[in-house]
Amino acid sequence: MDSERNKDTELSLITDTPEEGFQVAIQLARKGVTSAQPDKEVLFMLREVYAKDPDALIASSHVVAVHFQTVAAANNYWRSDSQSENNR
């Protein structure tokens, strides 16, 4: 049962489009936050603080960007095989 549930919630870096890849990057960033702070009460309490802090917002955007870079590389930047060959 747990393995079935994990399959439903497992993330894959492989996506069909850049937009789907960006959504995966956001999910990875969110999972990182909830893994680092598993206490939801504390997490929601702190959200109000960092939501108003420009430096924290920039840092969170950076985390998403790094994850998106990883997803894009895993998807060969969504190039088709013929595009990849033309760029060699």
Q: Is residue 27 part of a domain?
A: yes
Q: Is residue 5 part of a domain?
A: no
Please give the tally of structural domains in the chain.
1
In tens, the pLDDT along 4-36 reads 545 556 889 999 999 999 999 999 999 999 999
Structural domain including 61 reads: 11-79
Give the tens place of pLDDT for each residue, 29-80.
999 999 999 999 999 999 999 999 999 999 999 999 999 999 999 999 999 8
The helix (run of H) or strand (run of E) holding residue 24 is helix 18-36
Task: Give me the torsion for CA of 80, 83, 84, 86, rounded to 10°.
Answer: 160
The reported pTM is 0.78
Give me the pLDDT at residue 10, please.
81
